[in-house]
């Protein structure tokens, strides 16, 4: 990392775990209690928008009380310190935004943004109200139902984000941090970067499918390991 000009970091829920945001998989993961097909698909929303909104409202309440942790802070610092740094995140909590991260690509959107479910043409809008002002929230343009502007299972990522993530793989160092590396296309980026000659490293509590593909797998908490690396990089 000392000599690198282009750094890319892919992050997942594990980066926000120390802030108190629950992860999806693992012993305390959200998908242990809830089924993604009931809560995080367009079909689920079409079937029962109230139920889906209740779940998102609960998560918004939870996240609103959380602060960025040392992992977000180190990544934010690197995002400004390297000649080119790209941070690809699967997290919708915006804690990277709150830590002041430059070059951030939010692959799965933001829980703090809403969009028109009926696709009336309104641009997605920001709504940080906790609790929500109206339940379920509605589109300010057409008055129809609003949805969280996040990417659900079965939906495509924004083409501009996919392109940016593809370009970000042309780097010297690629770190995959706090992600179970099972959800594509995000999980594929580390392989792509490696094929393009990047030095790749994983930082995660547990081994993942990416562990055997990276140059070095460091197992431990992201907030501890990233702080440690940052200290060692300081001249
Ligand atoms: P997961 O919950 O699948 O994985 C989180 C990973 O972080 C696990 O491998 C944990 O071992 C690890 N972890 C937990 N605490 C950690 C810590 N303090 N330091 C380092 N690692 C830690 O979350 P994602 O990989 O982000 O998508 O999940 C990917 C996508 O699947 C999410 O964006 C979401 C989910 O379903 C959608 O909702 C579309």
pLDDT tens, position by position, 171-194: 999 999 999 999 999 999 999 999
Measure Cα distances from 27 to 22, 50, 181, 184 in Å: 10, 27, 16, 22
What band does 211 get if pLDDT is binned at 50, 70 and 90? very high
Position 90 scores a pLDDT of 98
Q: List the catalytic residue out of 50, 108, 191, 192.
A: 108
Q: Is the pLDDT of residue 201 over 90?
A: yes
> What number does the ligand 1 atom closest to the CA of 151 have?
39
Q: Is the pLDDT of residue 9 over 90?
A: yes
Position 135 scores a pLDDT of 95
> What number does the ligand 1 atom closest to the CA of 31 have?
36
Q: How far is the CA of 123 from the centre of ligand 1 (A)?
A: 29
Nearest to 84 by CA among 196, 206, 174: 174
Calpha distance 89→106 (Å, rounded) = 5
Q: How far is the CA of 91 from the centre of ligand 1 (A)?
A: 9
Position 55 scores a pLDDT of 95
- pLDDT, tens digit (0-9, with 9 covering 90-100), for 24-47: 998 889 888 889 889 999 999 999
The token pair at 75 is 């990544």
Position 32 scores a pLDDT of 87
Contacts of 156 (CB under 8 A, 6+ apart): none
Q: Is the pLDDT of residue 14 over 90?
A: yes
Torsion angle of C-alpha atoms 85, 90, 92, 97, degrees rounded to 10: -10
Share of the chain above pLDDT 70, in %: 100
Position 34 scores a pLDDT of 87
Q: How far is the CA of 93 from the centre of ligand 1 (A)?
A: 12
Please name every residue paired with 125 in a beta bridge, in sequence order, or none if there are none: 114
Q: Supply the pTM of this predicted model.
A: 0.96
Position 153 scores a pLDDT of 95
- Measured by CA distance, the residue closest to atom 32 of ligand 1 is 90
Share of the chain above pLDDT 90, in %: 94
What residues are in contact with ligand 1 under a 6 Å CB criterion? 12-14, 17-18, 23-26, 29, 36, 40, 90, 108, 151-153, 178-180, 183, 204-206, 208, 221-223
Task: For strands 6-11 and 84-89, give the pairing.
Answer: parallel
Residue whose entry in the numeric block shows the structure tokens 């690629």: 174
- pLDDT, tens digit (0-9, with 9 covering 90-100), for 90-128: 999 999 999 999 999 999 999 999 999 999 999 999 999
Here the contacts of 217-223 (C-beta below 8 Å, separation 24 or greater) are: 221/17, 221/18, 222/14, 222/15, 222/17, 222/18, 222/71, 222/177, 222/178, 223/18, 223/69, 223/70, 223/71
Mean pLDDT value across the chain: 96
């Amino acid at each position: 990392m000392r000599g690198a000009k282009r750094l890319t970091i892919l992050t997942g829920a594990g980066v926000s775990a120390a802030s108190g945001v629950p992860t999806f998989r693992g012993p305390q993961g959200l998908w242990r209690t809830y089924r993604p097909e009931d809560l995080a698909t367009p079909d689920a929303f079409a079937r029962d928008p109230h139920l889906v909104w209740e779940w998102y409202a609960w998560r918004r309440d939870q996240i609103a009380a959380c602060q960025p942790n040392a992992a977000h802070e180190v990544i934010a610092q690197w995002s400004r310190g390297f000649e080119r740094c790209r941070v690809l995140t699967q997290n919708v909590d915006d804690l990277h935004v709150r830590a002041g991260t430059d070059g951030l690509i939010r692959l799965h959107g933001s829980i703090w943004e809403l969009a028109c479910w009926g696709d009336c043409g309104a641009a997605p809008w920001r709504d940080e109200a906790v609790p929500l002002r109206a339940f379920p929230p509605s589109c300010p343009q057409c008055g129809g139902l609003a949805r969280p502007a996040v990417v659900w299972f079965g939906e495509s990522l924004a083409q501009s984000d996919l392109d940016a993530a593809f370009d970000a793989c042309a780097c010297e160092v690629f770190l995959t941090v706090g992600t179970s590396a099972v959800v594509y296309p995000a999980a594929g980026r580390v392989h792509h970067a490696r094929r393009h000659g990047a030095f790749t490293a994983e930082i995660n509590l547990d081994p993942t499918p990416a562990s055997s593909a990276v140059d070095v797998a460091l197992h431990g908490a992201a907030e501890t390991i990233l702080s440690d690396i940052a200290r060692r990089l300081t001249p």
